[in-house]
Structures are given as C-alpha cells and as structure tokens.
Amino acid sequence: MVDRKADAKNRASLDVLVAGAGYVGLASAVALKQARPSLAVAVVDAAPAGVWQRDGRASAIAAAACRMLEQLQVWNEIAPEAQAITDMIITDSRASDPVRPVFLTFDGEVAPGEPFAHMVANKDLNGALRRRAEKLGIDIIEGLAVSAFDTDGAGITVHLADGATLKARLLVAADGVSSKLRDMAGIKTVKWEYGQSGIVCTVAHERPHNGRAEEHFLPAGPFATLPLKPDSNGTNRSSIVWVERSEDAQKLVDGDDLAFEHELEQRFGLKLGAIHVADKPRAWPLGLTLARAFVAPRIALAGDAAHGIHPIAGQGLNLGFKDVAALAEVVVEADRLGQDIGALDVLERYQQWRRFDTVQMGITTDVLNRLFSNDIGPLRTVRDIGLGLVERMPKLKDFFIRQASGLSGDTPRLLKGEAI
C-alpha cells in the first residue's frame, strides 16, 4: 500500500474518514464504499506502513463474518489459507489431571457444508481487506495519528499529527481498545482489569488436528487450542490462546524457552504427538472495557474502541464485524434517503442496534470467566453438571452454535450474506 501522507494536506472534503487500519476499520471503509461508490472514503492509521505484515497471530472468524467477507469480495482470497473448525470440545480440569473428561462437544456446522468458524491468519485478513480497499479507490494514510478534531453543524475537521487537516461528514473511530478518539470525544467507559493475561503463540505438532478446536477450563483461566492450516512445508500447526494470572504469564513469556514448552506441554498434552513452539510467545493484559456511548456528534465507535471483552468465548473480533455490518447498513440507508450520514439521529440508530448485544456479550464473558477461572470445589461440581446437561440437549447446543456463529438476534444484512 502506498504511503499517502504527502497527499493529506491537499485532500478534498470526505464523506467518511475511518481512523484505524485494522480489520474493523478496513472492513468499515470497504463496506461503505462498495455499497455507495459515490461516497468519498479514506482511512488514516497511526501505525507505520507494513507493521500489519509482521503480525503472526490468527483469529477465529465466525460464519456470519465469513458471509460478510464474501459479500465484500475478499473471502475468495482468504479461503485457501483458512482452516475450518470442524468440531469443538470443552473440558473442565486442572493442568495436573492425568485425564480430562470431555463435558461438552459441538458439531462444527451451522448449515451443511458451512463451518461455524474458520481460523485465519491476521496478516492474510488484513492484506485481503487492504487490496480490496485499494481496488475501490480508498486511500489509506499510514503513519499519521489523529491529534485533534473539531465538529460543527456541517461536519468534522480532523487534525493529523503532521499538521494536515481532513474534513468529513462522519468520523469512524476504529482505533482500538485504548482509543484516543473515544477520549477526545468525551465518551466515558466502564472498565476493570481481570488480573489475567492472554498468552498467544503458534505450536507445531506431529499429528494433524483434523480441524478440532479445544477449550480447557483451568483454574487460572481458559486454555484454547485452535486449528491452523499446515504451513508451506506441510507442518501441522495450532494457535494457542492461554490465559494465566498476569504475574505468571509475564514470567512464562520472559523466561527460558524450554521451561515455557514444558508448561505448555502440561496443558496441551501429547495427543497430537511432540510439540514445538513455532514463534515467540507474547502476553497482553485482559480486562473489560465498554463505552458508555457508541456515538457522539459526527463520530461512531466501532470494534475494540467500543468494547473490549475477555477472549473466553472468542467473540471479540466478531463483535467488531457486527459493528461494521450494522454501521454500514445504517449509513448506506441514510445516504440513499438523502439524510446527513453524520447527524446524531442517524448515528443513534446504529447505537440502538449494537449497544444491547455488546453489553450482553460483555456481561456473559465476564460471568463465564469468573465462573470457570477458579478451583472452588462446589462451583466446579455445579458448572460440570451444567455442561453435562447442555451436552444432552441438542436444541440448546444448536442455540449456542448459532450464537457462536454470529447468526442469532437482529442480524445485519451483510452478516446474512446479503448486499446492502
């Protein structure tokens, strides 16, 4: 992608400026421009050019999000490197337990031939969205942060770090959980830390995973094994999301590689043969962050800028894609009706659509984390009975699969695989 910092000073007024060139920001820009080619859309990002290419992580993309990516004409590029999750098992145990009984299993399809989720490398997802944005004529201004903005009745003037200014009718803040734009807009948050950190890494293993995902509820937090496509050498791989107490997590990633692999093996097991850590593990602190409002005059929050949740249910990115689909649908419909796309009454439609679902998911992940991230005997008994009951109720399992796939509730058209 060409660095367009030099062009910013001379840019004409935009309809939509998206701050943040992650998946949510790029998908927002693509969705709006594809549906309404007449809209002038640009993206500005504080990160230097090319940083996204060094992201070695992978993300679980729910079925609804895959449908949206197909509508945005990027899924065909991503699909060959995506790994379908064919089934999932859940256990509740300790790392020292010699046997981990399976309490809950999920079939991996929401419809015949349609897995409820895929694992996708972050750089593949980001790269496909960038190339689609470029094809649609969306400029991506890299290496420049938004330093301030001013709103008036007609629009918003955005000041960049190099002194350039951009004018738009709508500013979409997709600049992450520590959003500077959210703070500049005066939007408060509900926030607390869990005292846990998530460790992420890629593990190579001898035997194939056959598309199976596993989540082990351990006393310190969940340990998830997520299937990845074999690498170019045919090496079997899985992505690990390992939640530990923050002080222990930092010691693990900063310590000896052999000690880390030993601790990993205690949790991963040897069911897939010998394992080897394929990249440098990293840890990040976990907390809950919910914006008290999703909109302000001329501004809409999307993705982690609006909500940061615990990864226990693997729904963070998919919540962000729901924001993308809902915001695009609201803005496109308003533009077709000749309404001001940045007017507060238009943006409040987006807020009303997304806030309840987001708060509900935030509370759900918080309760699940508190329920399962402990070793209290009576509580273990109750939750294991509950998992066993769900296992014996097919209709309830189908409900959870629909939830996990992003196809429940008031679903925006893009997530149904429909054009807007």
Instruction: For residue 145, name the pLDDT band (cuts at 50, 70, 90).
Output: very high
pLDDT tens per residue, range 234-292: 999 999 999 999 999 999 999 999 999 999 999 998 899 999 999 999 999 999 999 99
Number of domains in the chain: 2
Domain that holds residue 143: 14-79+120-191+287-374
Do 69 and 162 lie in a common domain? Answer: yes
61 and 146 housed in the same domain = yes
Asked, for residue 7, whether it belongs to a domain, the answer is no
**Residue 121 to residue 115: CA distance in whole angstroms:** 17
Contact 8/160 with Cβ under 8 angstroms? yes
Q: Tokens 């009975």 correspond to what residue?
A: 385
Q: Are residues 58 and 144 in the same domain?
A: yes
Average pLDDT, the chain: 91
C-alpha to C-alpha distance for 216 and 239, rounded to whole angstroms: 14
Q: Domain end: 264, 286, 308, which one?
A: 286
Q: Are residues 63 and 133 in the same domain?
A: yes
Same domain, 200 and 340: no
Dihedral over Cα of 344, 345, 347, 351: its sign:
positive
Query: Looking at the structure, do residues 62 and 198 belong to the same domain, yes or no?
Result: no
Closest CA to 189 of 281, 290, 285: 290
Look at residue 131 and tell me if it is in a domain. yes
**CA dihedral over 229, 235, 238, 239, signed as positive or negative:** negative
What would the mean pLDDT of 309-320 be, rounded to a whole number?
90
Terminal-to-terminal C-alpha distance of the chain: 27
**What pTM was computed for the model?**
0.92
Instruction: Classify residue 168 by burial, with Cβ atoms within 10 Å: 0-12, 13-18, 19+.
Output: buried
For the residues 389-416, what does the mean pLDDT come to?
81
User: Is residue 98 scored above 60 in pLDDT?
Assistant: no
Q: Are residues 274 and 226 in the same domain?
A: yes
* CATH number reported for the structural domain that contains residue 241 in this entry: 3.30.9.10
Domain final position from 254, 286, 318: 286
Is pLDDT larger for residue 390 or for residue 72?
72
Give 295 or 383, the one with higher predicted confidence.
Answer: 295
Looking at residue 107, its pLDDT comes to 80
Same-domain pairing of 179 and 37: yes
Residue 10 has pLDDT above 80, yes or no: no
Closest to 222 in 3D by CA, of 87, 383, 24, 85: 383
Share of the chain above pLDDT 90, in %: 77
- Token pair recorded at residue 177: 């959980």
The number of C-alpha atoms within 13 Å of 175 and in the hemisphere containing its C-beta is 25
Residue 11: the pLDDT is: 54
Residues in the chain: 420
3 part of a folded domain: no
Q: Residue 406: inside a domain, yes or no?
A: no
- Residue 256 belongs to a domain: yes
97 within a domain of the structure (yes/no)? yes
Q: Tell whether 252 is covered by a domain.
A: yes
Which pLDDT does position 12 carry in this prediction? 55
Same domain, 326 and 282: no
Return the amino acid letter for 371: L
Q: Mind listing the pLDDT tens digit for each residue in 187-216?
A: 999 999 999 999 999 999 999 999 999 999
Whether residue 200 sits in one domain with residue 114: yes
Strand partners, 295: 300
Per-residue tokens: 338? 């000749």
- Write out the two tokens for 3: 């660095």
* pLDDT computed for residue 111 by the predictor: 83
Q: Which of 357, 374, 391 marks a domain boundary? A: 374
- As a whole-number percent, the residues of the chain with pLDDT over 70 amount to 94
Q: Identify the pLDDT of residue 8.
A: 47
**328: exposed, middle or buried (C-beta count within 10 Å: 0-12, 13-18, 19+)?**
buried
**pLDDT (average), residues 320-342:** 98
Does 38 reside within a domain?
Answer: yes
More confident residue, 408 or 347: 347
266 and 359, same domain (yes or no)? no
Print the SS3 string covering the chain. CCCCHHHHCCCCCCCEEEECCCHHHHHHHHHHHHHCCCCCEEEEECCCCCHHHHCCCEEEEEHHHHHHHHHCCCHHHHHHHCEECCEEEEEECCCCCCCCCEEEEEECEEECCEECEEEEEHHHHHHHHHHHHHHCCCEEEECCCEEEEEECCCCEEEEECCCCEEEECEEEECCCCCCHHHHHCCCCEEEEEEEEEEEEEEEEECCCCCCEEEEEEECCEEEEEEEECCCCCCCEEEEEEEEEEHHHHHHHHHCCHHHHHHHHHHHHCCCCCCEEECCCCEEEEEEEEEECCCEECCEEECHHHCEECCHHHCCHHHHHHHHHHHHHHHHHHHHHCCCCCCCHHHHHHHHHHHHHHHHHHHHHHHHHHHHHCCCCHHHHHHHHHHHHHHHCCHHHHHHHHHHHHCCCCCCCHHHHCCCC
**CATH number of domain containing 57:** 3.50.50.60
Residues 127 and 54 in one domain: yes
